[in-house]
Amino acid sequence: MFAIGSAFKSKTRIVYIAGIVVLAFCFTCVSISLLVRTAESARFPITNLYESLLLFSWGLLLVSIVLFSRQSLPQLGWLTALSVSLVFLYASWLPPGQHVIKPLMPALVSYWRVIHVPPLIVSYAFFVMSGLLSIVNLWSGRRRMTAAACLLALLVCLLSIYLGTLKLADVPTIQLGFWLGLCISCAATFGLFFWEAHRPFVPTKFSDLADGLSQKSIAIAFPLLTFGIITGALWANHAWGAYWTWDPKESMSLATWLSYAAYLHLRSRSSCGSDTLSLCAFLGLLLTILTYLGFTFLDLGGLHTYGNIA
Amino acid sequence: MKVSFMKPEKKEEGSIGSFLSSAKLTVGLIACLVALSIAGACLPQTGQSDRSLVSSLGFATTAPIVAFFGLHDVFNSWTFIACVTALFVNLFACTVLRMPARIRARLNNDDFLHSSAVASLRESITIYSPFSAERVLEYLSGYMKTLGYRAIVRENSAIFQKGSAGWLAAPLTHLGLFVLLIGILISTLFSYSGMLYLTEGDKILLCDWAKQAGPLATVRAMPVTLLSTKKEVHAGGEPKQWISQISVVDKKMQTRIGTFSVNHPLSVEGIDFYQTDWKVVAVTLSINDRKVKVPIEDGTHDKMGTLKLASDLVLILRLDENAKIKAYLKADDFDRPRFLATLSEGQSVPNFPLRICYERKHPQSGIKFKCDPGLGVTYTSFFLFLLGSLFVALPNLRVWAAVEPTEEGLVKCVIGFNGVKSAHLMRADLQQVKHAMRQLVFMGCLTDREVVRVEH
C-alpha cells in the first residue's frame, strides 16, 4: 500500500492511512500472539528461533511506531512492511518442531532469560532498520552503485539463511558460499563507495530523513545491545561462573558492539560525511544478521545453540 | 568580564600525541578487533593445531598465514593482544590529552569561539544585521530559548545547549574501560577457580583442585564433601534441573551445608560453587546377589557400559536420559546383541537364568568453584558502560554564535555547530534561526534592506 501510495501523485492519503492501519493491526496481532504464547507456555516466549523471530518482528514494528513520524511513515513504511513480511516468511519455513512449545533446559530456567534476551532481540530490530535506512540514504544521495552493492551483500546473507534453514546444501558448502559471496560483495561495496566518492554526496530531504532515522535507531539500539551483553555476562557468571568465555556468539556480539562504537566515534568527527556513516551502519547490519541468525545457518556451535534448528 | 576563547582545534600534523589520541586510530583499531572477533567466532578455535584447523577448512595453503596471525587461537594471539593494547594506549592518550580540556569546557561553559572559528565549524550560517551586537545576541538568545536551548552569553559570543547529559557518554564509557582493565588485573592476580567432578560421598580439599590460580592468589584448603546430587525432570522426561548438596568447613571450623543448582550458585566465604554438569558415571547391578559396579561411558550416540559375564558372554547396558537401562546380551555365536529388558532402579531382568537386578545409579556432579576478588570492580565497569551507552541516546546539541562589527558598519553574526550527532536537528534549528532573522529584518526594524544578507 505504501508502494502504491508512492506510485501515484494524487489521492495517496487514503492509501497511506490504509497502510498505517494494516501496520498497526499487524503490531496488535503480533503483540497478542506473544501474550497468548506466554500464557500457554507459562513463561516469556524466547526459547527458540521461532519465538525470537516473533519478538524480532514485534521489534521491527515497534521501530516504526517509536521512530517514524506522521511524515516519515508514509515515506518509509514500506521498509517496515517488507522486512516484517520477510521475517514472517522465514518463521513459517522453520521446521514444525520450532513451533511447538517445549520444556526449558536447566540452563534456561532463570529470570535472567527475560532480562537478557528481549533487549538484544529488540536492539537487533533497531539495527536492522537503521541498516536498511542507511541503504535508502545512500540510494537517494546519489550513491546508487554503492547501495546496489550493499543490496547484493544483503542478498548473499538472505540466500545463505534460506539455504541453511531449509538444509538445501551441506554446512561447509553454505559456509564457503556465504563467506565468498560476502567478501566479494563487501569488496564491491567499498570499491564502488570510493569510486563514487569523487562526486559529492547530495543530501535530499528524503535522504536526510532516512539518515536521521538511522542515527536515531542506532542511538536507541546501542544502549539496548550494551544492556543485553552486560546482562548476558552477569547471567553467564551466575550460571557457569565465568562472565566471558569467548563463545562464538559472545565474540560476534562484541564485534557488533564494536562496529557501532566505531559508528559513534565516526559520528563525533565533523569531517565524516553522511555517506560514510551509512556505510558503517550497513556493515553493522551485516554483523547484526550474522550475530542473530548466522549461528543457525553457519552452524558455528558454542554455548548459545538453543536457537539452532534441530 | 573576562572571556576566554577556545582556539580552533589544533591540528599538529605528525605529532605522535595527536595521532595516538585520534579518533581515526580508534576507528582503525576497532575495525581490526571486529575482524579478529569475527575470525574468533567463525574459525575453529583452541586446542587445534594449525594443521587440523587448515584441514577442517580445506585450504592447505593458508596454514602459514593462519599460524602467523594466530587465527587458530585468536583471543590469545599476538595480533589480538596487540590490538587491545594499542586501543588502551589510544584510550589513555585521548583521556589524558583531549578529554580534560573538553570536560573543563563543558563544566565551565567557557569554550566560546571567535566568529572566524564558528565559521569554520561543520555547518554555519552568517547573518549581517544593522542592529547592535548586543541586540543581535539578545534576539538570537531569546529565539534559541524558544527552541529549547539554554543560552550562555559572554560579551560578543554565545553558546546554546540542548541536553545537558549527552556529552557524558564518552567520558563514562572511557572510564568504564579503565575500570574494566583494573578489574581484569585484580582477577588475573588474585582469583582462582577449578572444576570438581564428585560422586556422592566424595570428600576433597579445594586447594588440590584449583587449576587456574593467579600469581598472588591464596587458595583455601577448604574441605568439601558432596552429600547428594539429583536430576529433576519434566513430565516428558527432559532434564529440568540438576541439584547438588555439599558440606564445607568454614574458617571457624564449622561445617556448613548448602544446596545449589544450575542458575542458583552457592556462596561460602567468597567462594562460589556452580552446578555446571551432571551425568551418571556408573550403575550398580546385583548378579545372583553379588554387587557389581559397572562404569558408564559416553558412546557415539548413547551412554554405554559393558560387563563380562563369562568368557564368551557380555552384558551390554545402554543408559537413557531418565537413567533407565536397556540390557542386551552379546555372545560369540550371536550375530547381533539380544535385547533382554528395560530396567528402572530396583527391577530385575525377567526370565533369565542369572538374577540380574539394577540396584542403583551413581551420578557425578560437575561443580565449578571460583573466588574472584576483582568481580566487583568489573561489575562497576559494566555499570559505567551501561550508563555511558544510555547517554549516547540523549541529545547533545551545541550551537556556537559570535558577533563582530564589519567595515560596512553592520554586525556580522556567525552561528554554527560541529559534529554529526543530532546534526539534522541542529540543521533544522539553524534554518529556523535563519528564517527568524529574516523575519526580524522584514518586520520593519530595518532601514536599509539592501545590505542585509544571509549566507549559508
Beta-carbon-side half-sphere exposure of residue B427 (alpha carbons within 13 Å): 14
Which of A104, A269, A295 is best to mutate for the B interface (most B CBs within 10 A)? A269
- Residue contact B382–A234, C-beta within 8 A: yes
Shortest CA gap A298–chain B (Å): 9
B45 contact residues in A (CB cutoff 8 A):
246
State pLDDT tens for residues B41-57.
887 776 544 445 555 55
Residue B143: pLDDT above 50? yes
B23, closest residue in chain A (CA to CA): A265
Contact B41 A300 (CB under 8 A): yes
**Which of residues 314 through 353 in chain B touch A, CB cutoff 8 A?**
none
Whole-angstrom distance, CA of residue A51 vs CA of residue A113: 13
Could you report the per-residue pLDDT of A35-55, keeping only the tens digit for each?
A: 999 999 888 888 888 899 999
Residue B257 has pLDDT above 70, yes or no: yes
* pLDDT tens digits for range B181-222: 999 999 999 999 999 999 999 999 998 988 888 999 988 889
Q: Which residues in chain A have their CB less than 8 angstroms from residue B40's CB?
A: 246, 248, 251
Distance CA B18, CA B88 (A): 15
State whether A254 and B240 contact (CB < 8 Å).
no
CB within 8 Å: A238 and B34: no
Integer Cα distance of B366 and B343 in angstroms:
26
- CA B12-B15-B20 angle, to 5 degrees, is 115
DSSP B398-435: EEEEEEEE-TTS-EEEEEEE-SSTTHHHHHHHHHHHHH
Instruction: Give contacts of A 138-167 with B, CB under 8 A.
Output: none
Which of A171, A258, A305 to probe the B interface (max B CBs under 10 A)? A258
What distance in Å separates the CA atoms of residue A2 and residue A20, rounded to the nearest whole number?
9
Please name the member of B26, B75, B369 whose beta carbon is closest to the beta carbon of A265: B26
| Probe site for chain B from A237, A244, A293 (most B CB atoms < 10 A) | A237
Which residues of chain B from 237 to 256 reach within 8 Å of chain A, CB to CB? 238-242
Residue of A nearest to B383 (CA): A230
Angle at A49 between CA A47 and CA A52, to 5 degrees: 70
Q: What pLDDT does residue A133 have? A: 93
Give B147 or B64, the one with higher predicted confidence. Answer: B147
The pLDDT > 90 percentage for chain B reads 32
Interchain pair A230, B386: CB under 8 A? yes
Specify the pTM.
0.85
Instruction: Identify the pLDDT of residue B420.
Output: 60
Task: Collect all residues of chain A within an 8 Å Cβ-Cβ radius of residue B24.
Answer: 269
CB-CB neighbours of B276 under 10 Å: 19
C-alpha–C-alpha distance, residues B9 and B416, integer Å: 15
pLDDT at B55: 53
B230 sits in which H/E element: strand B223-233
Whole-angstrom Cα distance, residue B348 to residue B367? Answer: 33
The pLDDT of residue B57 is 57
For residue A229, what pLDDT is reported?
96
User: Tell me, what's the pLDDT at A266?
Assistant: 87
* Apex A166 CA angle, A164 and A172, nearest 5: 30
The string of DSSP letters for A194-230 reads HHHTTSPP---HHHHHHHHHHHHHHHHHHHHHHHHHH
Q: Residue A253: what pLDDT? A: 93
Please, which pLDDT band fits residue B447 given cuts at 50, 70 and 90? very low
- Residue B22 in contact with partner chain A when CB distance is under 8 A: no
Please state the φ and ψ torsions of residue B189, each to the nearest 5 degrees.
-80, -40
Q: B66: which 3 cell numbers?
A: 593462519
CB B115 within 8 A of CB B404: yes
Residue of B nearest to A270 (CA): B419
**Chain B interface mutation, best of A207, A220, A230, highest count of B Cβ atoms under 10 Å:** A230
- Residues from chain B that touch A274, judged by Cβ atoms under 8 A, are 420
Determine the pLDDT at residue B121: 83
Contact of B421 with chain A, judged by CB distance below 8 Å, is answered with yes
Q: List Cβ neighbours of A276 (8 Å cut-off, separation of 6 or more).
A: A266
Per-run averaged pLDDT (10 residues), chain A, 310 residues: 69 78 90 93 87 93 82 78 91 84 83 93 95 92 92 92 83 86 93 89 82 89 95 92 88 93 83 86 94 78 63
Separation of alpha carbons B56 and A172, rounded Å: 10
B62 at interface of A, judged by CB pairs closer than 8 A: no
> Cβ contact (<8 Å) for A300 and B23?
no
Give the gap in angstroms from C-alpha B9 to the nearest C-alpha of chain A. Answer: 11
ipTM exceeds 0.95, yes or no: no
Q: Is A112 on the interface with B (CB under 8 A)?
A: yes
Number of other residues whose CB lies within 10 A of the CB of residue B151: 18
Residue of chain A minimizing CA distance to B421:
A267
Cα–Cα separations (whole angstroms), residue A293 to A57, A158, A260, B247, B275 = 14, 10, 18, 44, 29
Decide if B33 and A258 are in contact by the 8 Å CB cutoff: yes
Residue A11, C-alpha cell as written in the block:
489521492
Q: Which helix (H) or strand (E) holds A72?
A: helix A72-93
SS3 (DSSP) at B357: strand
pLDDT tier, B8 (very low <50, low <70, confident <90, very high otherwise): very low
Cell of B436: 527568524
Contacts of B234 in chain A (CB under 8 A): 103
Mean pLDDT of B346-359: 87
pLDDT of A265: 87
Interface touch B424/A234, C-beta < 8 Å:
no
Q: In chain A, positions 172-191, which contact chain B (CB-CB < 8 Å)?
A: 172, 179
Place of cell 541542529: B426
**What's the confidence (pLDDT) of residue A307?**
58
> Predicted confidence band at B365 (pLDDT cuts at 50, 70, 90)?
very high
Strand pairing category for B192-199 and B356-371: antiparallel
| Cα torsion B260, B263, B264, B266: sign | positive
Q: Which amino acid is residue B60, in one-letter code?
A: A
Residue B185 at interface with chain A, using a CB cutoff of 8 Å: no
> From CA B31, how far away is CA B19, in angstroms rounded?
17
The whole-number pLDDT of residue B448 equals 38
In 3D, which of A220, A40, A262 has the Cα closest to residue A119? A220
| Buried b / exposed e along A14-30 (16+ C-beta atoms within 10 A) | ebbeebbeebeebbeeb
Name the residue with higher pLDDT: B383 or B448.
B383
Mean pLDDT, chain B, rounded, equals: 83
**Sign of CA pseudo-dihedral B16, B21, B25, B30:** positive
Measured distance CA(B266)–CA(B254) in Å, rounded = 17
Cβ burial, residue B391 (10 Å; 0-12/13-18/19+): buried
Fill in the amino acid letter for A292: Y
Cβ proximity of B313 and B302 under 8 Å: no
**Residue B335 buriedness (CB in 10 A; 0-12 / 13-18 / 19+):** exposed
Would you report the helix, strand and coil content of chain B in percent, each value rounded to 5? Answer: 40, 35, 30
